[in-house]
Chains A and B, each alone.
Chain A
């Protein structure tokens, strides 16, 4: 089912963080929440998860929602990775055979070495912690996954690996709602983008946001990635719309063709 927020208002102390928010996150799609710090992005996730109660409005969600914290250390409390991964299923008195099967699936999906299972989650590297935190959430087979900046601090390889795992998981019909500052990742992986500004909010498909209406992003004081800025620059110089793509290498090839055309026109002008 979709996640629907109806006229949600949230106050923290005297401050209204979110006001009269009406929004639907479609089932099976990846929606990125973007905006500057302090505009209420995390509050939206907290409302969906039920960690923050709105003062007004109501919300419809599926029952099984997974939440990966930004600071994954806040999520760990078991002495070993194995206990951390299996905690929820064992707490729910799931049959041990199923627990072991799910554990094996996660170890395959995240390419975890068996020796990792006996280590303390607190003693892992930043990238390993993120993978264990996500695997722990996925062990519970949630219908919806809420993620708060899951790739912050990861290197390029680890980031790509994590995002590809999320993409393959989404392709099983699951819903992802992900806060991020990395607009290049939004362009490549997300289906929709929810742009939050000070008192403004817009929900639109990714291609529309980046290529047709980039002012929605820039008005929220977000910096477009260089590849998108260059796309618009070349399109303007050539005075024609260019083909669009959310695939990085295809988009680069489209821009490169545009640049070559502009270069040859410049030579003729001379």
Chain B
């Protein structure tokens, strides 16, 4: 279980997060939402073990969080790439984790297959499109077999077609019961989550299900929930197609 207990990290100035407490069970998928500057990225970086607690703590299965157990993918995959081929990029993280060479090939092939990018093994990461780069960035983290996967606005700079490919990956990972925590501005993307953490000015305002969020006055909802609400139907986190078929 991931547990954040009164976690505080303030950047120089006023931004950051304060007194954040919540838990995430293994296999859960949680979305962190809030306006720009509300502390979403800070929280994800803290969960990844990249920011030290100034107060409180974040633990995974009772131990302090660390990048060995928790993988994070950023909005700009270019920030993550440091080598000249997809293969080297994938292997770099595994070498740091001291994974046996005999095990590496299998891990790399499996991760690339999951994101449907096997053909890029010898390509230069910078020659790929934005969507392809992002899929490689996810694969590189997945090859490290993290116990929790963090996705920080990974679709923000992608076109809708490239986003759709990322959605397929998230659906696949959910089927595998992967623990996922992600941030997004796109309301349609809320629908992947079992729960929403709503941040405001660095504080956790709400920890609710999507159905509970739809019972508030917000219009920032996936279309399906907006439609169900407009129809006065009992709210369920299902697609609009499933809702209409259920009539």
Interchain CB contact (< 8 A) of A152 among B156, B244, B247: B156
**A226-B240, A227-B223, A252-B226 are known contacts. Are A37 and B159 too (CB-CB below 8 A)?**
yes
Chain A nearest CB, measured from B99 CB (Å):
34
A172 surroundings in chain B (CB, below 8 A): none
Verify B220–A222 contact, CB threshold 8 A: no
Q: How many A-B pairs fall under 8 Å by CB?
A: 72
Chain B nearest CB, measured from A269 CB (Å):
10
**A153-B156, A260-B231, A263-B247 are known contacts. Are A36 and B161 too (CB-CB below 8 A)?**
yes
Interfacial residues, chain A to chain B (CB-CB below 8 A): 36-37, 125-127, 152-159, 181, 183, 221-223, 225-227, 230, 233-234, 237, 249, 252-253, 255-256, 259-260, 262-263, 266
Chain B nearest CB, measured from A184 CB (Å):
9
A227 to B219, CA, bound (A): 14
Verify A259–B159 contact, CB threshold 8 A: no
Asked if B102 lies at the interface with its beta carbon under 8 angstroms from chain A, I say: no
* Chain A to chain B contacts (Cβ below 8 Å), 20 pairs: A126-B36, A127-B36, A152-B156, A153-B153, A154-B185, A155-B185, A156-B185, A157-B35, A158-B35, A158-B36, A159-B185, A223-B161, A225-B223, A226-B188, A230-B223, A230-B227, A230-B240, A233-B244, A252-B227, A256-B227
**Residue among B35, B36, B164 with the highest chain A CB neighbour number at 10 A:** B36
A237 to B226, CA, bound (A): 20
**A154-B36, A156-B187, A234-B244 are known contacts. Are A259 and B227 too (CB-CB below 8 A)?**
yes
B226 surroundings in chain A (CB, below 8 A): 252
A222 to B161, CA, bound (A): 8
B37 surroundings in chain A (CB, below 8 A): 125, 127
A226 surroundings in chain B (CB, below 8 A): 188, 222-224, 240
Per-position binary interface string of chain B over residues 57-87, scored 1 when its CB falls under 8 Å from any chain A CB and 0 otherwise? 0000000000000000001000000000000
Verify A181–B159 contact, CB threshold 8 A: yes
